[in-house]
Amino acid sequence: MLGTVRGVVVMGVSGCGKSTVGALLAARWHARFVDADDLHPASNVAKMSAGEPLTDADRAPWLRRTGEVIAETADAGRAVVVACSALRRTYRDMLRDGAGGDVAFVHLTADRDLLVERTTCRTDHFMPPALLDSQLATLEPLASDETGTTVDVTTAPETVVDRVAAWSARVPGVR
């Protein structure tokens, strides 16, 4: 069970492995896993599927709902790991506000070439590779006052999860 944080958000741009790492981490911690992509309204999915980046106005209801899911899960006494892009500080602040407290962030990173390769190879996702550059331009790294860590994802997902678990064991309240 997570300690003083309300949940853990595995964040980053498309293709970095948020869903894979998030699901593995949740399984390790016996936590609920939520893919925030499943919380997007149909209008957002249609927009992204058409290759059009979302605006902050498009994202706001989705981020609020994602924060609410974190809060609902934490209020029920369960740990939760959420896969969510959370690209900007303001988006992460919205998640914390909706969660009703601190949220830990695991920022997954990789070089652009690997991200392009991953997004080009997948066929089961609404996010087209063409939007990767807009996500990279939007991305703001974690600030020093945010609970979180940054992990390179060029290794196997299980190794990434091992690194996150090692980090969480050293940070009071994360696990």
Tokens of 146: 């945010």
pTM of the model: 0.86
The yes-or-no verdict on residue 52 having pLDDT over 90 is: no
Domain coordinates in residue numbering, the chain: 8-169
Instruction: Tell me the pLDDT band of 32, cut-offs 50, 70 and 90.
Output: very high
Q: Which of 29, 24, 39, 28 is nearest to 70 (CA)?
A: 39
Q: Provide DSSP, 96-141.
A: HHHHTS--EEEEEE--HHHHHHHHHH--S-SS-GGGHHHHHHH--P
pLDDT tens-digit map of 89-108: 999 999 999 999 999 999 99
pLDDT tens-digit map of 112-165: 776 767 666 645 554 555 567 778 888 999 999 999 999 998 899 999 999 999
- CATH fourth-level superfamily of 8-169: P-loop containing nucleotide triphosphate hydrolases (3.40.50.300)
Cβ-Cβ contacts under 8 Å for 150 (sequence gap 6 or more): 107, 108, 109, 141, 142
Displacement of CA 112 from its chain's centroid (Å): 18
